[in-house]
Structures are given as C-alpha cells and as structure tokens.
Amino acid sequence: MDNLFHLSLPCTDVEDTKKFYVETVGAILGRHSNNWADINLFGHQITFTQAGKFNFNNPNYVFEGKILPSFHFGIILSVDEWGAMYSKLNKLNLELVTQATFLKNKSGEHLSFFVKDPNGYMLEFKSFKKPIEVFKNS
C-alpha cells in the first residue's frame, strides 16, 4: 500500500460538505456519521468534523504576483485530469480562483486553480509539467 495523505478539518455543515465533495468534485464518501465524514479525494483521506467557522489572521499571500489563499489544501493531478476538473467546475459557474501556470520554465512548473468549498476552505488542483519535480527544490 502506498502512503496516503490524511487531513482533518472543521466544517460548518457536514451535509453541505459531503454534497460538495461527492456531487460537485466527484470524490467518494467514506465512513461518516451525522457529525463527521471521511472523503476519499483521489485516494487521500480528508475528514471533516462539524465544528463551526474558524478565523485565520493571514488569509492571503503573494506568489509570482498572484494573491493566493494562505490556508488551503489540494490534490496533484495529471494534466488531463486537471483539465477535466477545471472544465467541470468552470461549467458549474463556481468561483474559480487564480487559474495560472506557476514557476514557468523553472523546476516545479505547474498549472493551478482554486475553488472554495461550503466551509470557506480553498481547495487547490495542481498539475506539474514534470511530475518528478513535485518535491524537487530548484
């Protein structure tokens, strides 16, 4: 078994969160109850627990001239999967943020866009030009 990523996050409404990740993004619902849900996001586990809103003091940062959300999580996809996800979410008239290529012509070049989930979390979708460079320093 490959190592899997797990992240646990508070959410404002478990049902809205399940609907967004399963019906909108296309993830798979795992174990769940009335107060929490495991989401299989491309083979990685995200657990959402009903907890209410959180306030973060530094919501943004600047990278290569783009304003990006400081607090976010995401998934790295192949370029074909990335394009299909971008098209799917864009057709739903969701607010997609910062569709851009970062580190152009440098180590780690990648496509990226963000979408906000029902809890206000920013979900990032990335696709690396050279997947071997995902963890490579320049």
- For the stretch 6-57, pLDDT in tens is 887 888 889 999 999 999 999 999 988 888 888 999 988 898 888 766 666 6
Q: Do domains 6-50 and 60-133 have the same CATH topology?
A: yes
Asked if the model's pLDDT at residue 138 lies above 60, the reply is: no
70, two tokens: 């400081």
Q: Is 46 exposed, middle or buried (0-12, 13-18, 19+ CB in 10 A)?
A: buried
Cα separation of 62 and 79, whole Å?
24
- For the stretch 106-133, pLDDT in tens is 888 999 999 999 888 889 999 989 988 8
Which pLDDT belongs to residue 36?
Answer: 84
CATH architecture, range 60-133: Roll (3.10)
Task: Spell out the domain ranges in the chain.
Answer: 6-50, 60-133
Identify any residues that bridge with 85 across adjacent strands, giving them in sequence order. Answer: none
CATH architecture, range 6-50: Roll (3.10)
